[in-house]
Structures are given as C-alpha cells and as structure tokens.
Amino acid sequence: MFGKETFHKISFVFLAVFFIGSPFSISLSQITGGLSLFFLFLDQIQKRKFPSFPLPLIFWVGLYLSFLLTPLFHTESFHWKQNIVKSEFGDIWMGLLLLHQNYLSKLEKKKLKSYVVLGGMFLILSGIVSFVFHYRLAPYVMDGFRYVEGKRLPHLLAEIKGISLYLPIGFQSTHLTYGGLLAVYLPPVFATTYRLVRRKSSIAKFSFFFAGSLVISAFGLVLLFLNQSRSIWIGFLLGIFLLIQKQKTPLKKLIPWILVGSFFILSILVLFYHTNWIFQRAIDDVFAKRSLENQRIWIHKMNFSILKDNVLFGIGAGNYETSFIDYAIPIVDSIPELYYDLSITPKSHTHFDFLHGILLGGLIAFCFSIGFLWSITKNLEGVKRHFSFYLGIFVILIAGSFQCYLLDDEVLLPFMGLLALLPTQKLDLSPTSRIQKKFPREAVIQLPMFRFVPISFGILVFWICLSLTTTYLWSRTENKDLSLHRARTKDNFPSPLSQLSLNAKTPVPLPIPTKEWYFKLSGCLDKEMNFKKDPVPRKKPIRLVILWDEAYRSDLPQSIAIEIRKRESFDQDKEYRVQAESVVRKISLPKIGKEHWIEVDPLAFENNTPEFVDFGFWYSWDSETPYLPRIRIQGNCD
C-alpha cells in the first residue's frame, strides 16, 4: 500500500507547507512542522532505522534538559504544568526539526529553498497589507474578516496626505515577532533577487518574475526599516560584515549597493522622522539614557541578581517571573516609588537569549549553549555557495542579545527549519586531516586548532561577551538613582530642559524668545502596594514645591497654572502611548515672590485601581530672558 519512500515524501510536503505557512499562523506552522516530524519517524520505523541526530540537535536537547535540574532537585516545589508543559522546556520539540538535516537530499534542500523564498514573499506582502490596513490582520481574519469591537487596533505610524500608515506587523501580534521573521525570510529573498540581477539573461527571459522579485525585495527593505526592530537592524549590520568577509567581495563592487541602501534609509528617515512621533521615539530612544517605555535596565538588574545566587544549576524552567518578583519585592519595600516601573517591566524572559538559558540551567546550560552556537556556525562554514541565503540564522543569534527570539515560537520554528536546510556536517576530530593536503608537515605542526573556531562563531562570542559586559555595567546603577520623576511634553516625549529643573541648584535658562512653556511631571502612586499584597489607600498627602530664587526674580514666570492629573498605572501601553490621563483640577498661582507649595490629598480623587497623581505646569513670561524655576520633588512625592 505504501511505497518505500512514501512517508519521506509526505514529510517533505509538510515541510514545504511549513515554510510557506509560518508567516501567516503559528498554529499552522506548529501543525505542519509536527506532521513533517511524524512522517519522518514513520519513515524511520518502516526502514527500521534509529534517527540520526545532527550535532546542533544534541546540544539543543542537552540545553533544554539542563532547565529541569533545579526543579527535579526540589521535588517539593516541582509542578509538571509550570516547570514542563507551560515553561521554556515545552519548546524542546521544535529543535527536532533539525532531524531533517540528515534525511533531506541536496536536491530536496534545493527545492525547499524555493518554498522558503515563497514564504518570504508572502511575509513581505502581508507586511505591506498591514502597513495600510486599519485593523490587525490576524484577529480580523480569525473573526471572519470583520472587526470585533474592543479588539486592539494597529499602531498608527504616520498620516501622509490623508492616508493612514500603520506599523507593519503582517499577521503577527507584535512588531518584534515580525522583525524576527523578516530576519529569517528576507536574506533568502534578497539572495534570490541578487542572483537574478547577476544573470543578465534571466532579466530578459523572466522579466515579469525578475521585476516582481526586485520590487518585493525593495519593499522588504522598507518594511525592515519601518518595523523598528532595532535589534534586527544591528543583526543585519554585523551580518553584512560577515557576508563581506565570507565572500571576500571587493569594495569596488559593494559601493553601488551601499549607496542604494543608504539612499533608501535616508529617504525613509527624512520622510517619517519629522512627521511621526512613534518613529521619532524609536530613533530617540537609542540615544536616551532612560525613556518612557524603557524598562531594560530593571530587567538586567534582576537578571544579574538572579544569576549571582543561582550560577551553578540555575533557577529551572518556568521560574523566571517568580524569581524576578522575589528580587523586586525588597526594592519596592525600601523605595516605594519604584513599584510602578517594576510592575510594568516585562517579566516573562530576560530579553537576552544566551543569558536566559544560563539563568535557567546554570553552568551546564552555558556549556550546551556554547556548543549549540559552535555547531550552528560550523554548519554555516560548510556552505560553499549562496551563504547569504542563511544569513538570517546569524542575524537572529546576534539580535538575541536584545530580545529572546529563540523563546518566540513564531520565530523559533522557521529558524530551526532554516537550520535543517544547512549542509550535513560530520564531526572531524582530526585537526590536520585536510590541512596536510595543502601544507607540509612542518607547517601543520605550527598551525593552531583555529579551524575548529569559525569566524562567525568568534564574532558571536565576542558580541555576547560585549553585550553581557554592557548590560552588567548598566545593571550596576543604584536603585535610588532610578527613582526618576519624568518631565514630559504634552505629547509624552521627554522634555530635557524641564527635566533639568527638577531638584536643580539654579533656575534653567530657556531659548529666546520663549514666552510660554508647558510640561507634565510624573507624580506618585495613590496607593501603598507591593507585588504580593493588596493596594492600600495612601493617607499621606502628595507634595512638591516650586522654589523662587530672588536673584532670578525678573526672569521667572509671570504666571503659573498647575494641573492635577490622574494617570492609569497599569494600562500596558494599549495605544502605544503613555497610559490614559485626565485633568482632575486646575490651580492658578499668584506671583508672590516666595516658594509655592503644591499639596494633593490622594483620597480626594481615589479610584479602586492604583493610579498616579501627576502635575502639569504652564508657565508664561514677560521677560526677554526666561528661566524655568526650580522644582523640589522627593521620592514618593514627600
């Protein structure tokens, strides 16, 4: 009934569908990826063979098994659902896609590459649709091609001549996931287009396909930039460096491509930077010490605190969020105003792939992680031609120093699928087996064993060490220094000059001829709370003082209006802005030439949910040399 290769062919078909379907649905990719493995196992059973494990898969399985060491050592707290089913350990099966590496022929891998390119084109097309479509594609399709009231809308990127443009995310739920998929799928699309460009005969023979490929590649580059996944940008920059080194391409040939790419980037930058605040934020946050949505410093403070106490065996799968909170509670008890920043900080992962594995599995996970990276890069070294097709593997590994892309199922599955298409490598432990053919015996003796260390592996290790060092130094910031009352513009951008007036030693000069100045100042929580206790209404009044320096009297504001504002604390950025705000009271202060005390009774505007009491300051001047008065604000607002 079934031929000798029937199950193998069915497995191949499901793998092809897997590459095409991954950009559309995580469920579809899991189903098709799982079925490809199922028929692979049936094929091996029929042939009465034990599956052959490629080296990266051995390291992968070892890494994930190390996550269970601590839970198994502490059986009293072990829970199978938390520590196995719904934890990081549940992703171990996705690595089994690597089994295909040893069972696919060169011809089959070549055919599957075309399906990867097709999937990449679908990913780009879905990104273009989401760029102009005013609903999120995934829920819109799942709800029967209609919008259900209350579903989250896409983030508005810009409005150009009445046309609304949105943050491109395709069928994904976040721009980071879409950026990760772009990293996997764009290099194959670019590589295909590049080969068509080099084959001048194909331009005339397949003019329609050539033009379509060129246009889609250009749109892919634009989407990569607009997607704002800065970690992926860095990954591509280092990836291009590796590609140049690998291909030894003369600089003369690269200059036209560099100029074209630079023109694209500068054009988009000029088009969107001055017209769109969300795009400005993505660029400005790169240079900001701390920004409104930047909790990365807290993540790494917790990461290294956890690592310090669990370096040997780690904390185990499924325990990261609990450990994060346990280390955060003493901080909040000592500095209550930090509760808000810690509460909205993402606690599901470390935002660092390599570090996350070490936190869960300790030193054993460290060894397996290094082995996994080495085995992957060793496989990459085996790519003789079309190295650029697999560039996304390197990009994801580099970008993993900023996000946990290998914990994101939508990215991990196609990443593993791409690894399965790499040439099969056999581990050769003889350091001189191939070198002896090219060099005399005397030269071989002097050669180190560097051939075991691919260039890409060296770049990865250097980058990870640099990232770990940077994040560690960042995490050393004192907790009290992070108690920051933020000054913001009316559009919730940082207001640097206003920030300087907080607890300053002298008034702050403003640009001439400023006549009016408005900024918002984040206040303090109206509840006393911690992670493991219910909020209690705050009874102590919230206070701050506007100081009046006699030496600058003529240059200080002629009039002062104060807004008492309430801001939701736990909105989690629903509209890609700072939390919903409202003005509950306005106060006009007379110019009396002395300190102005602002006092707010938090019980006067109390809600059931915890909120912030913020302040809005509206100054106006008659003076030609305006100065911002100093504001003294302390801790949890006194």
Q: Splitting the chain (638 residues) into consecutive groups of 10 residues, what average pLDDT does each group show? A: 79 96 93 95 88 91 94 81 86 94 92 95 95 91 87 82 88 92 95 81 64 89 86 89 74 65 65 56 50 68 93 93 92 79 83 95 96 92 84 94 92 95 65 45 41 82 93 84 78 85 92 91 80 81 90 90 82 46 87 82 80 90 91 82
H helices, E strands: number in the chain: 22, 14
Q: Give the type of residue at 7.
A: F
CATH number at residue 533: 2.60.40
Q: Is residue 339 assigned to a domain?
A: no
Model pLDDT, residue 484: 66
Q: How far apart are CA 113 and CA 20, in angstroms?
A: 11
Among residues 388, 421, 454, which one ends one of the domains? Answer: 421
Co-location of 413 and 496 in the same domain: no
Co-location of 490 and 417 in the same domain: no
Please, are residues 409 and 91 in contact by the beta-carbon 8 Å criterion?
A: yes
Q: Is residue 255 assigned to a domain?
A: no
Please enumerate, as own/partner, the contacts of 267-271 that have beta carbons within 8 Å and a separation of 24 or more. Answer: 268/222, 268/225, 268/226
Model pLDDT, residue 298: 86
Model pLDDT, residue 483: 64
| Verdict on whether the full-model pTM lies above 0.75 | yes
Model pLDDT, residue 452: 67
Please, are residues 341 and 483 in contact by the beta-carbon 8 Å criterion?
A: no
Residue 253, exposed/middle/buried by CB under 10 A (0-12, 13-18, 19+)?
Answer: exposed
Residue whose entry in the numeric block shows the structure tokens 């098994």: 65
Among residues 373, 401, 421, which one ends one of the domains? Answer: 421
Model pLDDT, residue 476: 87
Co-location of 409 and 498 in the same domain: no
Q: Is residue 471 assigned to a domain?
A: no
| Cα-based distances in Å from 533 to 185, 330, 526, 528 | 46, 13, 15, 9
Co-location of 116 and 238 in the same domain: yes
Co-location of 103 and 192 in the same domain: yes
Co-location of 522 and 409 in the same domain: no
Q: How far apart are CA 532 and CA 582, in angstroms?
A: 28
Q: How far apart are CA 602 and CA 625, in angstroms?
A: 37
Residue 623 Ramachandran class (φ > 0 left, ψ -120 to 50 alpha, else beta)? beta
The total of structural domains in the chain comes to 2
Co-location of 65 and 179 in the same domain: yes
Co-location of 507 and 629 in the same domain: yes
Co-location of 222 and 79 in the same domain: yes
Q: Cβ atoms within 10 A of the Cβ of 541, count?
A: 14
For residue 121, give the DSSP letter. H
Q: Is residue 431 assigned to a domain?
A: no
What phi and psi, each to the nearest 5 degrees, are found at residue 542?
A: -90, 130
Q: Is residue 249 assigned to a domain?
A: no
Q: Is residue 267 assigned to a domain?
A: no
Side-chain half-sphere CA neighbours of 193 within 13 A: 21
Q: Is residue 479 assigned to a domain?
A: no
pLDDT digits (tens, 9 = 90+) for 106-147: 999 999 999 999 999 999 999 999 999 989 999 999 988 888
Q: How far apart are CA 638 and CA 39, in angstroms?
A: 67
Among residues 421, 451, 474, which one ends one of the domains? Answer: 421
Please, are residues 295 and 345 in contact by the beta-carbon 8 Å criterion?
A: yes
**582 pairs with which residues across the strands?**
566
Co-location of 112 and 219 in the same domain: yes
Q: Is residue 340 assigned to a domain?
A: no
Please, are residues 615 and 521 in contact by the beta-carbon 8 Å criterion?
A: yes
Co-location of 99 and 174 in the same domain: yes
From 99, 112, 97, select the one nearest 19 (Cα to Cα). Answer: 112
> In which domain, by residue range, is 200 found?
54-243+352-421
pLDDT digits (tens, 9 = 90+) for 345-395: 888 899 999 999 999 999 999 999 999 999 999 988 878 777 889 999 999
**72 pairs with which residues across the strands?**
none
Co-location of 398 and 537 in the same domain: no
